[in-house]
């Protein structure tokens, strides 16, 4: 097969596109990006220092070792989620089916992704060194460690690339990496609960690092060359899928509409699942049974929720109100696991009309499972904190259980929010114009967590918990949920939104 040379095609596209652009638009974009990074970096340099390079190393050996699978595991999973090899949507539509060299078409995308992976890997490496290594380390040693981490980033990209082209083993590897990530988180939690000394010793010298990093560089370079050779073998459908992801990502960013992306991930998840029809549970109200089925089919997410109940332990050194906030947000997130059906109904009421239930019945039934999830998660998280003596004595698990209506209202309210209203008036601030639509949209749902203020105050005060506080939280939660249901649903209306 004769391949049409790609370079002239690309050059022609670029020329034609730039003919429609203003003169100097590209230079302007680069200028603004650099300026933005400089300004934000200048504003946040103290916070960045805390994250990447604290004044003294502050991690124990366990914590530093746990950070490795967490940071690099996240990088790998993100690479897998987004491709890693993607094309822009126009290129996927017009150039992929054209008789051009596949390798030449995909190489720029691979190059760009490799640079991004190397930078993220190096940053992760610097952060781990910054927290775990003694300040006696040379600049050259830090540079070697960072470049080694950058090379690991590229190596992960190459593995993800092979997984994108390959078969089922990619999914299995994802599961293994997820397990490693979970193990890393467990390590951090264990580090926070025990009394592990900060141990900034045992780092290799430059003499041992040079041959090591050199060998890694050689291996990565070899693998990269092999990957470029095999680039043409990446199946079309995988590239198309990744191109769709990239396109949706840009749509989400430009339209400031995160639901484009989350909906796509959700659709893709179910498209890959093989399901078997079951009978809906007989004894439960019909929509409760449906929510239960949905949650039961997301077992892996339930497992993550279970593990995440240990994460507030990481905040024991932080101000107490932050633990309270983490508990409330966790209740919202765990309740949202069952939010997919409300979201469908809020977006398009056709199935609700077919079901013929009142909006009040529908929402009441839809709050059961989120409420149960929020109650179990908060009780587990608070019970764990209390068992580890990070909280004063008291029935903290009960306080977690009565957060049930708070989580349910917040999750259902969040699921009903719909699209961002970009027609809302923008706010002019000294820092520039802020569009209020996405802000308002992001707050709908989490705002209902205000119903959890009694619990937040109890955790923040760090005093012994009385049953009276539990009772107050239960009452506020139930009254708030009643008010929410009464105010946003009706017995004479099927649709969730009051129409016209």
495 lines the binding site for other proteins (CB under 8 A) = yes
389 lines the binding site for other proteins (CB under 8 A) = no
Residue 372 near residue 331 (C-beta atoms within 8 A): no
Interface residue with other proteins among 166, 258, 340, 438 (CB under 8 A) is: 340
261 lines the binding site for other proteins (CB under 8 A) = no
Q: How far is CA 6 from the centre of its chain?
A: 37
Give the residue carrying structure tokens 């946040």.
Answer: 44
Mask for 395-434, x = binds other proteins (CB under 8 A)? ----------------------------------------
267 lines the binding site for other proteins (CB under 8 A) = yes
434 forms beta bridges with 427
**347 vs 395, which CB is nearer to other proteins?**
347
Q: State how far the Cα of 257 lies from the Cα of 65, in Å rounded to an integer.
A: 37
Interface residue with other proteins among 107, 180, 240, 293 (CB under 8 A) is: 293
Select the span of 32-40, 250-258, 351-359, 398-406 touching other proteins (CB under 8 A): 351-359
Residues binding other proteins: what is the number (CB under 8 A)?
Answer: 40
Q: State how far the Cα of 88 lies from the Cα of 97, in Å rounded to an integer.
A: 14
**344 vs 461, which CB is nearer to other proteins?**
344
Q: Which residues contact 465 (CB under 8 A, 6 or more apart)?
A: 391, 392, 393, 394, 395, 396, 399, 458
Interface residue with other proteins among 341, 378, 469, 489 (CB under 8 A) is: 341
Q: In angstroms, give the least distance from the CB of 339 to other proteins.
A: 10
**49 vs 296, which CB is nearer to other proteins?**
296
Q: State how far the Cα of 47 lies from the Cα of 125, in Å rounded to an integer.
A: 18
Q: In angstroms, give the least distance from the CB of 282 to other proteins.
A: 9
270 lines the binding site for other proteins (CB under 8 A) = yes
Q: State how far the Cα of 103 lies from the Cα of 234, in Å rounded to an integer.
A: 10
Interface residue with other proteins among 275, 425, 431, 468 (CB under 8 A) is: 275
329 lines the binding site for other proteins (CB under 8 A) = no
280 lines the binding site for other proteins (CB under 8 A) = yes
Select the span of 15-23, 71-79, 356-364, 380-388 touching other proteins (CB under 8 A): 356-364
3 state DSSP class of 95 = coil
Q: State how far the Cα of 372 lies from the Cα of 404, in Å rounded to an integer.
A: 6
Interface residue with other proteins among 89, 238, 297, 320 (CB under 8 A) is: 297
Tell me the backbone φ, ψ of residue 334, rounded to 5 degrees: -70, -40
283 lines the binding site for other proteins (CB under 8 A) = no
56 sits in the region (left: phi over 0; alpha: psi -120 to 50; else beta) called beta
Q: In angstroms, give the least distance from the CB of 142 to other proteins.
A: 47
36 lines the binding site for other proteins (CB under 8 A) = no
276 lines the binding site for other proteins (CB under 8 A) = yes
Residue 336 near residue 414 (C-beta atoms within 8 A): yes
286 lines the binding site for other proteins (CB under 8 A) = yes
Q: According to DSSP H, which parts of 388-434 are helical?
A: 396-401, 404-415
Interface residue with other proteins among 358, 422, 436, 488 (CB under 8 A) is: 358
The closest of 83, 306, 334, 323 to 182, measured between CA atoms, is 306
**343 vs 413, which CB is nearer to other proteins?**
343
Residue 64 near residue 196 (C-beta atoms within 8 A): no
Burial category of 465 from C-beta neighbours within 10 Å (exposed 0-12, middle 13-18, buried 19 and up): buried
Q: State how far the Cα of 308 lies from the Cα of 306, in Å rounded to an integer.
A: 5
Select the span of 200-208, 321-329, 355-363, 371-379 touching other proteins (CB under 8 A): 355-363
**251 vs 361, which CB is nearer to other proteins?**
361
The closest of 424, 86, 72 to 234, measured between CA atoms, is 86
Residue 57 near residue 198 (C-beta atoms within 8 A): yes
Contacting residues toward other proteins, per CB under 8 A: 266-267, 270-271, 273-280, 286-287, 289-290, 293-294, 297-298, 340-341, 344, 347-348, 350-351, 353-358, 491-495, 499-500
């Amino acid at each position: 097969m004769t391949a049409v040379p790609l370079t002239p095609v690309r050059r022609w596209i670029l020329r034609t596109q730039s003919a429609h652009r203003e003169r100097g638009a590209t230079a302007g974009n680069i200028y603004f990006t650099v300026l933005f990074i400089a300004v934000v970096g200048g504003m946040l340099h103290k916070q960045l220092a805390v994250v990447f390079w604290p004044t003294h190393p502050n991690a124990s050996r366990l914590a530093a070792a746990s950070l490795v699978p967490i940071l690099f595991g996240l990088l790998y999973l993100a690479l897998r989620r987004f491709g890693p090899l993607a094309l822009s949507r126009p290129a996927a539509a017009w150039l992929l089916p054209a008789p051009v060299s596949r390798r030449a078409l995909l190489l720029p995308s691979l190059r760009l992704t490799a640079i991004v992976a190397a930078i993220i890997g190096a940053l992760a490496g610097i952060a781990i060194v910054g927290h775990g290594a003694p300040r006696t380390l040379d600049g050259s040693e830090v540079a070697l460690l960072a470049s080694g981490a950058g090379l690991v980033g590229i190596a992960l990209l190459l593995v993800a690339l092979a997984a994108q082209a390959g078969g089922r083993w990619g999914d299995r590897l994802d599961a293994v990496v997820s397990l490693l990530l979970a193990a890393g988180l467990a390590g951090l939690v264990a580090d926070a609960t025990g009394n592990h000394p900060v141990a900034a010793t045992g780092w290799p010298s430059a003499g041992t690092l040079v041959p090591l990093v050199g060998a890694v560089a050689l291996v990565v370079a070899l693998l990269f060359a092999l990957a470029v050779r095999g680039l043409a073998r990446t199946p079309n459908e995988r590239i198309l899928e990744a191109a769709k992801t990239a396109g949706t990502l840009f749509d989400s960013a430009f339209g400031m509409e995160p639901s484009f992306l989350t909906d796509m991930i959700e659709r893709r998840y179910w498209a890959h699942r093989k399901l078997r029809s079951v009978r809906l549970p007989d004894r439960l109200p019909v929509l409760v049974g449906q929510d239960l089925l949905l949650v039961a089919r997301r077992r892996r997410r339930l497992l993550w929720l279970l593990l995440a109940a240990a994460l507030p332990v990481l905040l024991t050194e932080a101000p107490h109100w932050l633990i309270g906030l983490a508990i409330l947000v966790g209740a919202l997130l765990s309740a949202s696991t069952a939010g997919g059906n409300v979201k469908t109904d809020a977006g398009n009421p056709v199935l609700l009309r077919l079901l013929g239930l009142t909006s009040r019945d529908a929402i009441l039934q839809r709050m059961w499972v989120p409420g149960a999830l929020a109650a179990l998660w908060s009780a587990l998280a608070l019970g764990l904190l209390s068992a580890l003596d990070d909280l004063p004595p008291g029935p903290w698990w009960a306080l977690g259980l009565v957060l049930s209506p708070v989580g349910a209202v917040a999750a259902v309210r969040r699921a009903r929010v719909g699209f961002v209203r970009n027609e809302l008036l923008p706010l002019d601030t000294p820092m520039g114009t802020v569009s209020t639509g996405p802000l308002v949209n992001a707050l709908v749902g989490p705002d209902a967590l205000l119903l959890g203020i009694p619990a937040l105050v109890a955790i923040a005060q760090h005093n012994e918990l009385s049953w009276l506080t539990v009772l107050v939280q239960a009452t506020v939660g139930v009254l708030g949920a009643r008010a929410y249901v009464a105010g946003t649903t009706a017995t004479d209306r099927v649709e969730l939104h009051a129409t016209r």
